[in-house]
Amino acid sequence: MPHDPADDGPPGDGGDPGHRLRLATWNVNSIRSRLPRVLDWLARADVDVLAMQETKCSDSQFPTLPFFELGYEVAHVGFNQWNGVAVASRVGLDDVQVGFTGQPTWSPKPDIAAVAEARALGATCGGIRVWSLYVPNGRALGDPHYTYKLKWLAALRDTAAGWLREDPAAQIALAGDWNIAPSDDDVWSTDFYAGSTHVSEPERAAFGAVVDAQFADVVRPFAPGPGVYTYWDYTQLRFPKAQGMRIDFILASPALASRVTAAQIVRDERKGKAASDHAPVLIDVRRDHPAG
């Protein structure tokens, strides 16, 4: 099997765990199907805050109690078996906000009223404003969902830029499944994806606009490419063949980025029974005021 640099061991521990906060994002691809794996990994990886995407359940169906028993508070928004985002935290969960200002709406059919889908959830955890984001897929170039995706990203960029104008020292993490591979290094084959979503210039420009709004990819410096991915399709043995994409990111505001001491794409969690098709992505953040 081709070597994947993401297998090269765990991140630095950021010093004493009491002096760092560990923040992760994971597209779990159905929390009810993945619950044992998610809980097991949270405990093993000593994660403080986890942003989840594609929970694929309504609020009443989300398994809050097992998280609570493990010491986590949970905020979740989900309306049905599609989409759904959540934040689980053991360092506080305050000022929960469903959706961001200006978030576009979507309707699957002309005769159905457009609504803001369950794709964005914000909460303040340990002094960090964490946003769990599930960017629309886009489906195909020219599809109405592709136009919706670009509008969604533009609205996020405008709103996030506004947060930093209001408070340049804001500690913000935009974490989730962005459904964009920002560079050719982020896909296993440019020929395979030619003419597809996730790699088109408008999508990459939309991602770049968020970065230009001062939200840095804080994982890349610790997981350089090419060949480092966060997603592998279930079909065609994509995972054992190392044929993936890097589409899950944590983008941090300047004040937060300056505190990141380590990061990792946890490729091993894509292995084994009942795995999500995405791997968790995590960062260690130096605590400004050490715990204890």
Tell me if 29 is assigned to a ligand binding site: no
Q: For the segment 190-210, what is each residue's pLDDT rounded down to a tens digit? A: 999 999 999 999 999 999 999
Q: What pLDDT score does 144 carry?
A: 95
Q: Would you call the peptide bond into 226 cis, given omega within 30 degrees of 0 as the criterion?
A: yes
Provide the edge-to-edge strand list for the sheet that holds 281-286: 73-77, 85-89, 49-53, 20-27, 281-286, 260-265
pTM for the predicted model, two decimal places: 0.93
Tell me if 54 is assigned to a ligand binding site: yes
User: What residue ranges define each of the domains in the chain, with the CATH number in brackets?
Assistant: 20-286 (3.60.10.10)
- Say how many CA atoms lie within 13 Å of 238 toward its Cβ: 18
Tell me if 83 is assigned to a ligand binding site: no
**CA separation for the pair 64, 87 (Å, rounded):** 11
Q: What pLDDT score does 18 carry?
A: 78
Q: What pLDDT score does 288 carry?
A: 73
Query: What average pLDDT does the segment 208-225 reach?
Result: 97
Q: Are strands 172-177 and 128-134 parallel, antiparallel or unpaired?
A: parallel
Q: For the segment 57-101, what is each residue's pLDDT rounded down to a tens digit? A: 999 999 999 999 999 999 999 998 899 999 999 999 999 999 999
Between 10 and 16, the more confident residue is: 16
Give the CA diameter of the chain.
56
Binned at pLDDT 50, 70 and 90, residue 3 comes out as very low
Which structure tokens are listed for 240? 């054992």
Tell me if 8 is assigned to a ligand binding site: no
Which residues have a catalytic role annotated? 134, 177, 278
- Residue by residue, DSSP assigns 42-102 as HHHHT-SEEEEE---S-GGGS-HHHHHHTT-EEEEE--SSS--EEEEESS--EEEEES-TT
pLDDT above 70: percentage of residues in the chain: 93
**CA separation for the pair 71, 91 (Å, rounded):** 9
Q: For the segment 239-272, what is each residue's pLDDT rounded down to a tens digit? A: 999 999 999 999 999 999 999 999 999 999 999 9
